[in-house]
Amino acid sequence: MMGEAPMDEKLVAACQMFLVPATILFAALAVATREALKTLLCIIGVLVSTAWLYRLYRWTGLPLADERTAFALAYIFFVAAVIAAVVHSRLWYLECKGKGWTGFLDSLK
């Protein structure tokens, strides 16, 4: 029977603990105007997602369905954050390219 057991309440709370900051980071990324800030937000997103995955790998005794659901959510955010970090760090590099140290410092303003 599908849906016979509710999801583990502690797992739901743990997922919310990571989903909320990850979602806020992606919303902040959408309104950020500088590539330096976007890169920083993406790196923080990678760190939050990594912490989430670490917590899930250390969790024992989860039902298989709950475990797969939690890992799917964590990996979706992790992959999205890594891709966004690569893209925005490249754009930041291109923005500063050829401008030397002054161009780098100006990009941080």
- Kindly report, residue by residue over 36-85, the tens digit of the pLDDT: 999 999 999 999 999 999 999 998 888 888 889 889 989 999 999 999 99
Separation of alpha carbons 80 and 75, rounded Å: 8
Residue of 98, 87, 104, 91 whose CA lies nearest to 45: 87
Residues with Cβ within 8 Å of residue 12, at least 6 apart in sequence:
none
Sign of CA dihedral 15, 18, 24, 30: negative
For the entire predicted model, the pTM comes to: 0.82
Task: State percent of the chain over pLDDT 90.
Answer: 41
Please give the sequence-ordered ranges of beta strands (E in DSSP) within the chain, or none if there are none.
Answer: none
Domain residue spans in the chain? 22-107
